Amino acid sequence: MASQMIGFVGVGRMGGPMAGRLLDAGHTLTVFDTSAEAIAPLKARGATVAGSAEDVASSAEIVMMSLPTPPIVQAVSLGDKGILRGSKVRTLIDLSTTGPSVAKIVGAAAGERKVAWVDSPVSGGVSGATKGTLAVMVSGPRATFDEIEPLLKVFGKTFFVGEKPGLAQIAKLANNLLAAAALVLSSEAMAMGVKAGLDAKVLIDIINAGSGRNSATQDKFPKAILPGTFDFGFATGLSYKDVRLCIDEAEAMGVPMVAGAAVRQMLAVTQARFGANSDFTCIAKVLEEWAGVEIRG
């Protein structure tokens, strides 16, 4: 793959490792983030630091963004000093989880400016971003996808889901709802088992050897809950945002989400108790407090 100049806006927990992988692959980067701390490692590796998102988009034809919330994505894309005010950008790739509504708004604005819009949320967490093992969901013009797929493969495995704006966001929201649901139900089951007298580690091993195994019992519990570190790497506030977006979109489409609504409520409780910046594995802490047990092992 030939070296390219890439613009990257938002180089935090997920964007930073992804931008780093582009540097590893030999590409030249111009980056912008409101956090000097986030930019520092990339600057040290030779990335050019821009003064605004607009400046990034005036230096590169391909611009990627990885931002935390839909309003921030919309503001950074469309606002003053925003990406779509840049003079050079021709393709805008959004790696954030925004939900389809914002994807459609920004996609329409990009189209008016003759900028190809690619919706490309990713799944796999900070670890996946660092290792290049993310699931990269993509919707947008097929011809544009064919051009940029070599870049996206730097991040992990690509899945082209269609040309309709926001379609990749639906796939991402479905995935994140299931990830949160697995954590909620696994926490309830583990709290019950431990309160009854089962060893937490033994119970996790049983579940992972049986039909109940899931992403929470295989990853979150061994890495962040049984050790009591609660540091898996995904914020409660972001998980709550994703699940809210999912439920809202489903209800707007006429798809009832009865169990999904319960997952949303558990995330609301977790955020109220431990804060938006807590790790979403703190869902298990809520169950520990309610059940009067500690799930350790």
The four Cα atoms 20, 26, 27, 33 give a dihedral, to 10 degrees, of 20
Contact predicate 91/65, CB 8 Å: no
Helices (H), 15-99: 15-24, 36-44, 53-57, 70-78
Looking at 172, 220, 241, 285, which residue is catalytic?
172
What's the pLDDT score for residue 202? 98
Average pLDDT for the chain: 96
Ranges in the chain, pLDDT < 70: 1
Domains of the chain: 5-165 (3.40.50.720), 170-291 (1.10.1040.10)
Contact predicate 65/34, CB 8 Å: no
Give the pLDDT confidence of 18-32 residue by residue, as tens digits: 999 999 999 999 999
- Block residue for tokens 């180089």: 11
Contact predicate 157/135, CB 8 Å: yes
Q: Which residues pair with 31 in a beta bridge?
A: 8, 49
Contact predicate 24/81, CB 8 Å: no
Q: Which residues pair with 27 in a beta bridge?
A: none
Contact predicate 284/189, CB 8 Å: no
Residues 6 or more apart whose Cβ sits within 8 Å of residue 271: 236, 237, 240, 278
Give the pLDDT confidence of 84-94 residue by residue, as tens digits: 999 999 999 99
Find the helix or strand (DSSP H, E) in which 93 lies: strand 91-94
Residues 6 or more apart whose Cβ sits within 8 Å of residue 139: 118, 119, 120, 160, 161, 162, 163, 164, 165, 166, 167, 168, 169
Contact predicate 33/68, CB 8 Å: no
Residue 164 among the catalytic residues: no
- Block residue for tokens 């389809």: 100
pTM: 0.92
What's the pLDDT score for residue 165? 87
What's the pLDDT score for residue 1? 67
